[in-house]
A = this chain, B = another copy of it.
């Protein structure tokens, strides 16, 4: 078993690049447009997709960071699970561009489903990685881990896959509802686990 420093450095790199690449998908209107302000306003689906994806990747980074304040050791399975998680993160700039290009067009539903499906996959992988690290009596967690804090992460992540599955299903009812669910979920995962879980927090310093 090795330390997690390079795993975190590599992941920070992927998160930072994926979140910065999102901006490349927003097109710059041509020099010869007569009304630039209106042209920029017309591109609202691009800004919307950019903002949702930025929030998602940023908040997933915060969650990765949170998990790895508890995870201190690494092994080959963890490296592979983390790599799969990074695969999910790397796909987001593509599904974001897809959403931006097809919102308001014939392919909008397909785009929303693909977009939310990526997040469903990422939520699943977050669960897998965390559960693996916490398995066998927390064999990859810090020796002095706050078990209650760890338990609260487990509880919060439990909601992820089902909630994103609902977001996907909602696409057949209303695209707005589907995307809105996605946004609400991003905020839910931004909330520290101590407020998001049902575990009654005792009075003590959290890790």
Whether a CB of chain B sits under 8 angstroms from the CB of A69 is yes
Instruction: Knowing A16-B17, A102-B36, A107-B36, say if A87 contacts B54 (CB, 8 Å).
Output: yes
Question: How many identical subunits does the complex contain?
Answer: 4
- Inter-chain contacts of A192 with B (CB < 8 A): 76
Query: Contact partner of A20 among B7, B17, B102, CB < 8 A?
Result: B17
With the chains together, A98 CA to B7 CA distance in Å? 30
Summarize A's interface: helix, strand, loop or mixed: helix
CA distance A58 to B10 in the complex (A): 10
Q: How far is the CB of A92 from chain B (nearest CB, A)?
A: 8
Distance, CA A59 to CA B68, complexed state (A): 21
Complexed CA–CA distance, A114 and B43 (Å): 14
Q: Which residues of B contact A7 (CB under 8 A)?
A: 65
Contacts of A80 in B (CB 8 A): 62, 190
Within 8 Å CB of A107, what residues of B? 29, 31, 33, 35-37, 39
Chain A contact residues, CB within 8 Å of chain B: 2, 6-10, 12-24, 26, 28-37, 39-40, 54, 58-59, 61-62, 65, 68-69, 76, 79-80, 83, 86-87, 90-91, 93-94, 97-98, 101-102, 105-107, 110-111, 114, 190, 192
